[in-house]
A and B are shown apart, each in its own frame.
Chain A
Amino acid sequence: MASDTALGGRDLLARLAEDRRARRRWFRGKFALVWLVLIGGLLVLLSATGNIDPDWYREWGPYILEGTGTTLVICVTSIIFATGLALLGAFGRLSPRPVVYSVASLYVSLVRGTPLLVQLYFVYYGLPEIGIVLPGLTAGIIAVSFNYGAYMTEIFRAGIQAVPRGQREAAEALGMPERLIMRRIVLPQAVRIVIPAIGNEFIAMIKDSALVSTISVTELLWRARRVGTREFRTLQAMLLAALVYWVLTIIFSYFQERLERRMARSDR
């Protein structure tokens, strides 16, 4: 076509596309470079103070890193329980029955109105006084699950309410009973709506799980603090722990993004 001659024999559209790709590559290149410079610079500065000892990492790094497993166990188990609690909570918050509604509302209000740290202490240090003694890990999972279940209750409630009313009406008009409508029509659509928010909760939970170190669960932070303080290497220990939390959240963000994109595609 005409563009061939006008642009020195190359097709205009192909050139534009190539140009767009080049710009994107350039942007990404700069992005990586800036991060490398900033992070590298920070590490160089810290090493320059003479407080970073690679040998110490070789010796104690693996011990700290082992805590990652426990951190993940806490998070994965808690997100499962929290999701279950949140579903129940959401049904309760949407129930026309006053007792059910009140119980669910009390749960949300109480748990959201008190610090997670207090809840952890209550379960681990408080409950033994009335004869309920739980191992640290169990106590931690219970407290974190209840805590996140309350926040997620409101997310699920909003998600269920965000499903257009016409969906419910169409299902009712087909003679579907209430439970079936919820299970087959409303919930699947609500889940799509809340997935980004649930992903954010999970990422927040990865970081909040560090609080469980205060009830002597030997997860990531607990180990880092222990060897750090003992050997006066807290700076190094915390650097490593921070790095692990950071990498974990990056990994989960990545999966969350992919999941979101896949769900968006099937709706299109």
Chain B
Amino acid sequence: MGAAAGVIVRVEGVHKYFGENHVLRGIDLDVARGEAVMLVGRSGSGKTTLLRCINFLEEPTVGTIEVDGFRVEADPLGRRGRRHKEEIRQIRLRAGMLFQDFNLFPHMTVLQNCIEAPMRVRRMARDEAIALAERYLDKVGLNDKIHEHPARLSGGQKQRTAIARALCMEPKVLMFDEPTSALDPELIGEVLKVMEDLAHEGTTMIVVTHEMHFAREAADRIVFMEEGQIVEQGAPDEILNKPRDPRTQQFLRRFLESGGPGGAD
């Protein structure tokens, strides 16, 4: 299916309108296998919308999304109907997603959260799914919480469970939508640590974040967005230390003034 070798996610000419509101104004973005890309920018710049367009939680108004060689064109009018729904599902099987407020299933234990989709979507046998879940829960440091309900977990533990749940689908790319924004400050570290480990192990990831320190440590590339466009992108060092675009400069200056990373948003 014509993907350039090594490209896992390709966003081509994506625009998104919410009513009259032009939120994404022509986004092109390639993410290579093993790359960790951080999307930064002020709130309202379209970072989260871009992420949600990649797995069609928002249908792009125009454009094409390709994940692991599976290409889907935007179908904002629903012309392709059921066929398009199936295409979207195929994209979602390849792209895992983490949310700001975790969205664990509250009526299931940690383990049940992790094996639900592997068993019912990937049709894995129960034992196999459990073994897989145990492996990933171990990786995020939650093997002792397997039979707890989410309500008994701290925010950090919830987000780590959500990461394990996403990993259990063995996606080609993990997408994080401000994964630490809903966490108490002292719990942010444990989640970022897991994400950093994943990045260093070569997990392909796209992360919307306000944690500049984390971005510097874990990103292969930082993409700065403003008003629905990609303004500037490059290695963390380039973007954070010597940004060229005045808008990037202004954004970073404000971040440093407000005490750096960790600003609530």
Q: Taking beta carbons and an 8 Å cutoff, which residues of A are in contact with B?
A: 164, 166-167, 169-178, 180, 184-185, 188-189, 192, 266-268
**Contact (Cβ within 8 A) B107 A177:** no
CB closest chain-B residue, reference A170: B103
Which of B13-21, B89-97, B192-200 has 4 or more CB atoms under 8 Å from chain A?
B89-97
Name the one of B106, B151, B165 contacting A174, with C-beta atoms under 8 angstroms. Answer: B165
Chain B binding site: helix, strand, loop or mixed by DSSP?
Answer: mixed
Contact A176 B120, CB 8 Å, known A169-B57, A267-B151, A268-B149: yes
**Contact (Cβ within 8 A) B97 A173:** yes
Q: Which B93-148 residues have C-beta < 8 A from chain A?
A: 93, 95-97, 99, 101, 103-107, 116-117, 120-121
**Contact (Cβ within 8 A) A268 B152:** yes
**Contact (Cβ within 8 A) A174 B169:** yes
Contact A169 B103, CB 8 Å, known A174-B92, A268-B152: yes
Residues in A with CB closer than 8 Å to B116 are 174, 176, 184
CB closest chain-B residue, reference A180: B120
Alpha-carbon separation in the docked complex, A193 to B92 (Å): 29
Residues in B with CB closer than 8 Å to A164 are 103
Chain A binding site: helix, strand, loop or mixed by DSSP?
Answer: helix
Alpha-carbon separation in the docked complex, A173 to B101 (Å): 14
Name the one of A167, A177, A266 contacting B105, with C-beta atoms under 8 angstroms. Answer: A167
Residues in B with CB closer than 8 Å to A188 are 107
Scoring B residues 50 to 94 as 1 if CB is less than 8 Å from chain A, else 0, what string do you get? 000001010000000000000000000000000001000100110
Scoring B residues 149 to 166 as 1 if CB is less than 8 Å from chain A, else 0, what string do you get? 101100000000010011
Closest CB pairs A-B (n = 4): A170-B103, A173-B97, A174-B117, A166-B103
Alpha-carbon separation in the docked complex, A192 to B92 (Å): 29
**Contact (Cβ within 8 A) B57 A172:** yes
Q: List 11 A-B residue pairs with CB atoms under 8 Å apart, sorted by A's residue number.
A: A166-B101, A170-B162, A172-B92, A173-B55, A173-B92, A174-B166, A178-B85, A184-B116, A185-B105, A189-B105, A267-B149
Contact size class for B?
20 to 34
Least Cβ distance of B100 to chain A in Å? Answer: 9
**Contact (Cβ within 8 A) A266 B149:** yes
Least Cβ distance of B180 to chain A in Å? Answer: 16
Alpha-carbon separation in the docked complex, A167 to B96 (Å): 15
Known: A172-B57, A178-B85, A189-B106. 19 other contacts (CB 8 A): A166-B99, A169-B57, A169-B103, A170-B97, A170-B104, A171-B105, A171-B117, A173-B92, A173-B95, A173-B99, A174-B92, A174-B96, A175-B117, A175-B121, A177-B121, A184-B116, A189-B105, A267-B106, A268-B149
Residues in B with CB closer than 8 Å to A170 are 97, 99, 103-105, 162
Alpha-carbon separation in the docked complex, A172 to B97 (Å): 10
Least Cβ distance of B258 to chain A in Å? Answer: 28
Alpha-carbon separation in the docked complex, A184 to B106 (Å): 12
Least Cβ distance of B169 to chain A in Å? Answer: 6
Alpha-carbon separation in the docked complex, A183 to B55 (Å): 22
Least Cβ distance of A235 to chain B in Å? Answer: 51
Contact A267 B107, CB 8 Å, known A169-B57, A175-B117, A180-B121: yes
Residues in B with CB closer than 8 Å to A172 are 57, 92
Contact A173 B120, CB 8 Å, known A185-B105, A188-B107, A267-B106: no
